[in-house]
Structure 1
């Protein structure tokens, strides 16, 4: 993997760590819904030329480390990924649609930070999300 990407008139390296959650932080990402969300994110990332460096779908949030071409804003891409994946989950079936009130699957906001020299640490953090959360649950009062 080359560090810099090339377009016709630019050379770029734009990496972001992105996190978003289901509405009310429900543990809604499991089984078939989790697979639908993952597949939809991968499909639209491929269509838009976004490289998914690392990613993980937890039951109550999504973690992505991505490289987004500079022709797209981060907000546009997050909106696209959240919108398309929510639409796919809604069309999955009536049982999953009933769980989501008001036709809203994802919460409104998101968290994004740029990735620089700490890329490897962020990738490791995303990779080890499940183990980290299970440790925290064991020590919680």
Structure 2
């Protein structure tokens, strides 16, 4: 009896995206809930979440991407679901939104520990200026106040 072909595809991604105009919208009191939402949607789509972290103005997410899911679909869903969750449950009456676009960087299984450590220790890396320039958002944060209201 012929054997079924077996696929063994492992796509490791380090994804980075920012808040609208890099406003510091991800406050410490809301960060855990927002990251849990991002993780839950990623898992719902079939990803294995390796790490989530970030700063008040951006998020880092490391996942393994399942074969049938495109990176664009993952990001569309994660950003859409987390933005709706944030507006409806975390920032009631306040502005929240993500910037357009994202950064995506592949890495190998042998780099997992290094990437996970980098993402989980974002605050320390920013404080100590030990950033990986290739994966950090380089546009300066907005110095103005976020818009009022919930449009975003």
TM-score by length of 2: 0.73
Q: Are residues 55 and 98 of structure 1, via their aligned partners in 2, closer, same or farther at CA, if it must alter by over 3 Å?
A: closer
> RMSD value over aligned CA atoms?
1.9
Map 1:99-118 onto structure 2 (within 5 A): 99-100=95-96, 105-116=97-108, 117-118=110-111
Which residue of structure 2 lines up, in the alignment, with residue 16 of structure 1?
A: 13
8 Å contact from structure 1 (residues 36, 88) kept in 2? no
Of residues 78-87 and 127-136 in structure 1, the stretch that sits farther from structure 2 once superposed is 127-136
Q: Which runs of 5+ in 2 are unaligned?
A: 130-152
Compute the displacement of 1:96 (Å).
4.5
8 Å contact from structure 1 (residues 14, 69) kept in 2? yes
Which structure has the highest helix share of the two?
1
SS where residue 105 of structure 2 aligns?
strand
Alignment counterpart, residue 113 of structure 2, candidates 111, 120, 129: 120
Compute the displacement of 1:47 (Å).
1.3
Q: Which runs of 5+ in 1 are unaligned?
A: 1-7, 137-141
Map 1:1-141 onto structure 2 (within 5 A): 9-92=6-89, 96-100=92-96, 105-116=97-108, 117-136=110-129
Give the paired residue count.
Answer: 124
